[in-house]
Structure formats: C-alpha cells, structure tokens
Amino acid sequence: MALPPLLLLQDIALTFGGTPLIESAELSVSPGERACLVGRNGSGKSTLLKIAAGMIEPDSGKRFVQPGATVRYLAQEPDLSAFPNTLAYVESGLGPGDDPYRARYLLEQLGMTGEEKPADLSGGEARRAALAHVLAPEPDILLLDEPTNHLDLPAIEWLESELESLRSALVLISHDRRFLESLSQSTIWLDRGRTRRMDQGFAHFEEWRDQVLEQEEAEHHKLGRKLVAEADWLRYGVTARRKRNVRRLGNLHAMRQQYRDRKRAVGMVNMTLAEAEQSGTLVVEAEGISKAYGARPIVSNLSLRILRGDRLGIIGPNGAGKTTLINLLTGNLEPDSGRVRLGSNLQMVTLDQRRASLDPNATVVETLTGGRGDSVTIGGQTKHVIGYMKDFLFSPEQARTPVGVLSGGERNRLMLARALAQPSNLLVLDEPTNDLDLETLDLLQEMITDYSGTVILVSHDRDFLDRTVGSVLVSENEGRWIEYAGGYSDMVAQRGQGVQARTAEKDVKPRSAEKQAAAPSAQAKRKLSFNEQHDLKTLPKRMEELEAKIAKVQEILADPELYSRDPARFQKAMDALTQLQADLHAAEERWLELEMLREELEG
C-alpha cells in the first residue's frame, strides 16, 4: 500500500508580470522518495520549489504538508549576516532532538572549520555552509535547488554519497546529469507551465521526453495546428540532436582507443612528431615543467604531448591549479623550470569562467558574424548564420533581436556560439558548463564533437567529460598530474576510485610517516610576506564591497524598460557589471590561493 504524501501541491498557478509562469503544476513527495525536477531555464523550476517550501504563495492551487513533517529548502543565496560564524548558522537549523555534533561534522566534510565569519565568506563558502545548514537536522523533506553549484568534484562526490545515506525525501534541481542519475527515482518535468511525472529516474528522462514530444507533435499536425517556429526549435529540435549525439559516441570511443594505441606505440609517436613542425600535428609539448606559488607546488615535473585533434579534460579539486596549468600549456605563463613548445600556426580561442562581455546594442546576427556578411566559418566550413543560430536554439525571428533583451540563458548560448564561431584550431574551455541548462549542455557537447581542432577542457561535470574528452589529466596532489585514457568514468575504473576517495586515502597515513614526510618540508617553510598578509586581511572586505556593488548594478538592470528607455545607461551598467564580476572573481582566486598557502605554512 502506497504511503500518503508528506508534501502535496495541486493545480498550482502563478503569474509574473502578466505572463503565466506556472499554469497547472502538481507535485507529490512521499516518505523517502527521491525526485528530480527538470525543465528549461526560465520554465519556473526554482519558483515551484519555493512554493513547495512555503516561501511563495501561488495565485491558485493547494499546498499540503503532513502535520509534524519537517521541510528544509536550500537557498541559492543564503543570508548568514545574523550569525557570528558558520557553525552558529548551521546549528540554528537543528531541532530539539537533533544531533548537535552533526553540524560540525558536516562543516568539516565540506572543508570548513565553523569559525568563518559571514562577512568574510566567498560565494562558494556561503553555499557550503547553506548545505550543512539544511543537511544537519536530517529533515523529512529536502528541497535542493542546484546543490552542486560552486562545488568541485570531491565535494560533489561527497554530497552525492551523503544524500544517498539520508532517509529524507529529496526534490532536486540540477544541471549535473550524473548527480541526477545517481540520486533520482522519479522525474517531474515542468514544461510550458505544466508538470508531467515519470516514475523512473533521470537516466530515462530524455527517451521519455522525446516520446512525449513526438506524440504531441503528431497530435498538433492531426488537428491542423502549426507550432510557433521558436517553440518548434526549442522543443522538437532537441530530439534530433540527442540522436545525433548518440551516434557520435562511436567516434568518441574510437578516439579513445586511438589514444591508448598511441601511448603504447612510442616509436610511432616519435615518427609523427618528426613531421609535426610542418604539418601542425604537434599542438603542445611540455617537458618536465614545474610551477609553485611559494611553498605550494602547482605542477611538478610534468611532461605531456597534445596532438592535433586531441580532447584533453583537466580534473582536480578547487585550488589544485587547473587554470594555472592551462596558462602554462598555452604559453600564457612561464614555468619555473622545464619548457613548453607550442605547435605552428596555432589559432587559439578561450572561453574562461567569467565569459566574454556582449554588446547589448548589437543584434544576434551581428554578434555572431562581427557585423560582416551573413555567414560564419566553423572548423574551416562556411555556414549561413541563420542555420548556425538554429544550432544554438535561436529562431530565425531572433536574428535582428538586440542582445540586451535576451534572457540570461539565451546570452549564455550566444556567448558559446560566438566563441565557437571564431576561427581557431585550439579551443580552451575553462568551466564552460557553469550555469548552463541541460539543452545548452547538449549543444556544447555537439559543437565540441564536431570541432575539427584540438580541445583543452576544465570541468567538474562528470557526465560532460565522459561525453566529450578522449583523455583526462588528473591532479594527484603535491603538484603531480597523471593522464588517463578515456573520460571521467574510465579514469575512475583505471584508478579504482574517484577523486575524493583517492584524496581521502592519501590523508590516512601512519603518524610516523607523517612526521617523516613533514621533516624536510619544515626546513623549507617560510612566512607570508607583508603584501600577502595584507591581501589576506583586506580581500574579504574587498569581496564584500564588490558583491554589494554587483547587487546594486543588478537592481538597475532588473528594470525591464531600461534598455528601451535609456540604452546608454543600460550599456554603462552592463559594462560595470562585467568589470565588477571579473574583479570579484580575481579577488576570490587570490584569497583562496593565499588562504591555502597560509594553512600549509601553519599546518
């Protein structure tokens, strides 16, 4: 006999600004159930989750929670300002019968001490504290909106394991496919304001969605209706792309096998490299390169060859030095020792974590073509810009649409499309999957697999790595990097364990071994310089000031009439926001680097 639901939403409707966002949504959560809530960016997933949490009142419909049932909601932007430190914030979520030690345990697992001051927290640290806050009481229902945001691979794997061990019911929103596949047992699809339910996990969602859309399309044709062009591309185009990507998997497996054969056949590699200078076969060759910041090694004696057509993924926890390694391999940073040789005729395009700014006054076509003609060149092949727009889920009617009126998700897609449209034979992508919905991730995967040049990719998305790269370079601590053939799952199979498990294993040593390992490093220890101490002390306040300025600019841009009323002010605000976000990212990176160095010197 099925248990009665702990949480029930019935016929929920909500309208924002005269446009219905949710028209007829249902959500039922039974004890111990694990459901994922999926849908395109802007479809209302986060809003529906807030309604389930009781934070937003719908225009109509019913919300029921079993008396005595506890519900915890993971906020995207948690407010810790009322608490003296992170431990007090996490403990505030505990009930009378909850384990008081669990708060400190969770913080330690998430890499925090509990003594951090709220004003000094980066966005990622605030996110980790919020996770500990909702997990500590082990509630009856957990509502988690993008819980993996700002987390690195070890933290994502730990969170996955922690959630699997809980008895709480879960409702998850996430763009991380592997995370959803591992945890979900049922799927709720929010599409055009209505929900559909499948009593299977996310692993079966795409096939089910395609069947639903194909059936709906057939019914529309029978009734003589014609779908709007944009809606057609946004929904039914997904099916064909997914099927094309399935066929591409065979090519990816062949590429990985070719890489394994190349690693074994050393003589063949040397013959290939002999003609690389003229043919451009060699892209990057690193010979014994090392780089350290103070006493902390980032790269130690790494030798690596990247050949034309390779797809290399770089994996490691936050602070391991992935961005530094990219800069070394691409010649933007000099190694302390060793040398890097770049191939001839390289044309490199980089998409970094901050993303390039877009001109809000330019149209979609002008952004993609640079204002020249009506075609783009992709991998040496010319393509009409309208066809290229369709590849990125833009309708032909949006060709003359100003960038300033596009949604956030559309701007993300446009930035990717522009980067990939630039002539290049080396594509460097640093966390390209950040803040992308599942459909856009499909598009990016398709573009990478079609790309005829070489790709260097940094990502925490395990499924995306499995779908795109031929080999992965993994941080093994102390500046050591080891390359494995295949994607993330292949790496785990070869190592026998994942990133977090390997790190945890290394931390467990006999005390005598720890003393022996620490002895030589003790002589080489140094103190933080005056400038480093000053930066470490002042950067938290600087980051807080930048976040406050960003919030003010975002308030200005939130005005939907600003662009049409005052384009100059809109442009000024967009430029200011881009610069402020770049400054904040740089400050956070510098603070993290100094904090890790301080802990190492003091530890």
Over residues 95-113, the mean pLDDT reads 89
Whether residue 345 has pLDDT greater than 70: yes
Residues 156 and 185 in one domain: yes
pLDDT recorded at residue 233: 41
Which is higher by pLDDT, 530 or 182?
Answer: 182
**Separation of CA 358 from chain center:** 21
The string of DSSP letters for 204-234 reads: GHHHHHHHHHHHHHHHHHHTT----HHHHHH
Whether residue 274 has pLDDT greater than 70: no
Whether residue 458 has pLDDT greater than 50: yes
Average model confidence (pLDDT) across the chain: 80
pLDDT recorded at residue 408: 64
Indicate which CATH number applies to the domain containing 140.
Answer: 3.40.50.300
Residues 80 and 196 in one domain: yes
Residues 156 and 47 in one domain: yes
What is the Cα–Cα distance from 73 to 79, expressed in whole angstroms? 13
φ, ψ of residue 259 to 5 degrees: the values are: -65, -45
Over residues 468-491, the mean pLDDT reads 89
Residues 206 and 341 in one domain: no
Residue 402 one-letter amino acid: P
Q: Is residue 45 a known part of a binding site?
A: yes
First to last CA, the chain: 56
Share of the chain above pLDDT 70, in %: 81
Nearest to 217 by CA among 199, 237, 242: 237
| Window from 5-9, 20-24, 220-224, 589-593 with minimum mean pLDDT | 220-224
Q: How confident is the model at residue 388 (pLDDT cuts 50, 70, 90)?
A: confident
Residues 464 and 556 in one domain: no
Q: Is residue 222 a known part of a binding site?
A: no
pLDDT recorded at residue 392: 79
Whether residue 262 has pLDDT greater than 60: no
Residues 589 and 463 in one domain: no
Over residues 266-291, the mean pLDDT reads 57
* Residue 94 placed within a domain: yes
Q: Is residue 40 a known part of a binding site?
A: yes
Q: Is residue 279 a known part of a binding site?
A: no
Residues 24 and 114 in one domain: yes
Q: How confident is the model at residue 205 (pLDDT cuts 50, 70, 90)?
A: very high
What is the Cα–Cα distance from 163 to 144, expressed in whole angstroms? 11
Domain carrying residue 597:
530-602
| Number of domains into which the chain is organized | 3
**Among 168, 184, 213, residue at a domain's last position:** 213
Over residues 292-313, the mean pLDDT reads 90
Over residues 157-182, the mean pLDDT reads 93
Q: Is residue 300 a known part of a binding site?
A: no
Over residues 551-556, the mean pLDDT reads 85
* Residue 356 placed within a domain: no
* Residue 566 placed within a domain: yes
Q: Is residue 520 a known part of a binding site?
A: no
Q: How confident is the model at residue 351 (pLDDT cuts 50, 70, 90)?
A: confident
Q: How confident is the model at residue 352 (pLDDT cuts 50, 70, 90)?
A: low
Q: Is residue 46 a known part of a binding site?
A: yes
Q: How confident is the model at residue 27 (pLDDT cuts 50, 70, 90)?
A: very high
Over residues 362-381, the mean pLDDT reads 82
Q: Is residue 54 a known part of a binding site?
A: no
Over residues 119-138, the mean pLDDT reads 88
Residues 487 and 593 in one domain: no
| pTM (two decimals) | 0.69
pLDDT recorded at residue 12: 94
Residues 94 and 205 in one domain: yes
* Residue 532 tokens, joined: 């480093």
Q: How confident is the model at residue 267 (pLDDT cuts 50, 70, 90)?
A: very low
φ, ψ of residue 66 to 5 degrees: the values are: -55, 135
* Residue 126 placed within a domain: yes
Contact predicate 104/87, CB 8 Å:
yes
Residues 337 and 446 in one domain: yes
Q: Is residue 41 a known part of a binding site?
A: yes
Which is higher by pLDDT, 274 or 66?
Answer: 66
* Residue 503 tokens, joined: 């790190």
Q: Is residue 345 a known part of a binding site?
A: no
Q: Is residue 235 a known part of a binding site?
A: no
pLDDT recorded at residue 264: 43
292-296, 351-355, 494-498 — which one is most confidently predicted on average?
292-296
Q: Is residue 318 a known part of a binding site?
A: yes
Nearest to 44 by CA among 17, 16, 64, 71: 16
Q: Is residue 531 a known part of a binding site?
A: no
* Residue 2 placed within a domain: no
Whether residue 510 has pLDDT greater than 50: no
Q: Is residue 323 a known part of a binding site?
A: yes
* Residue 404 placed within a domain: no
Q: How confident is the model at residue 486 (pLDDT cuts 50, 70, 90)?
A: confident
pLDDT recorded at residue 328: 93
pLDDT recorded at residue 21: 87
Residues 160 and 52 in one domain: yes
With a CB cutoff of 8 Å and minimum separation 6, the contacts of 47 are: 14, 21, 22, 56
pLDDT recorded at residue 430: 84
pLDDT recorded at residue 359: 84
pLDDT recorded at residue 553: 85
**Among 449, 482, 510, residue at a domain's last position:** 510
pLDDT recorded at residue 301: 93
pLDDT in tens, 403-422: 888 766 677 788 888 887 77
pLDDT recorded at residue 230: 40
Q: How far is CA 398 from CA 376, 414, 548, in A?
A: 17, 12, 34
Residues 22 and 125 in one domain: yes
With a CB cutoff of 8 Å and minimum separation 6, the contacts of 111 are: 128, 155
Indicate which CATH number applies to the domain containing 541.
Answer: 1.10.287.380
**Among 510, 539, 554, residue at a domain's last position:** 510
* Residue 467 tokens, joined: 């779908």
Whether residue 480 has pLDDT greater than 50: yes
pLDDT recorded at residue 257: 66
Which is higher by pLDDT, 298 or 598?
Answer: 298
Whether residue 266 has pLDDT greater than 60: no
